[in-house]
Amino acid sequence: MGFFSPFFICGGAMVLEELLESTLQGMGYELVEVERLAHNKLLRIFVDKEGGINIDDCVAISNHLSRLFAVENIDYGRLEVSSPGLDRPLRKEADFIRFKGETVKLKLRIPVQGQRNFVGVLREINNGIIKLESEGKLFDLELSNLGKARLVPKL
């Protein structure tokens, strides 16, 4: 069973996600998500950049991170670097700003107006409040109440 980072690196207070975030940012990429599956020591890293990523990006990132993890003594069995896909998860306020105008699927922790699941067009985000247009109504949803959020793929 997998669990989501962040977790602490032995012998230090640096969080893996922070290390990845700064390293990838320096390479021109954005860290979208980190998964670590304990049973087989799989480390799965989802990255993105404006315009999307391709296989050459994944190879370059994988090679760079393999060397970085050796230097930082980060224990893993297998490393996978991948695009977040067409149904990319949205986590940070910057994600919502970037994908303004797109259709998103949200699941809230606590229901709003008796509803936890929403699909609609992302109209705005300001001060942690997501404005979502769904079924002809405009909802103000708190980013802090978000359980999951994903883009709805355009097919």
Residues pairing with 101 in the sheet: none
Report pTM.
0.77
DSSP symbol at 5: S
pLDDT value, residue 39:
77
Cβ contact 62:44 at 8 Å: no
Distances (CA, A) of 41 to 24, 60, 79, 80: 21, 21, 9, 11
The single residue listed with the structure tokens 């997998």 is 2
By C-alpha distance, which of 1, 29, 4 is closest to 17?
Answer: 4
Please report, in tens digits, the pLDDT of each residue of the chain (155 residues total): 333 333 443 433 247 889 999 999 999 999 999 988 877 789 999 999 988 999 999 999 999 999 999 998 888 899 999 999 999 999 889 999 999 999 999 999 999 999 999 999 999 999 999 999 999 999 999 999 999 999 999 88
Q: What is the CATH number of domain 93-151?
A: 2.30.30.100
Fold of 2-82: GMP Synthetase; Chain A, domain 3 (3.30.300)
Measured CA to CA, the distance from residue 94 to residue 138 in angstroms comes to 21
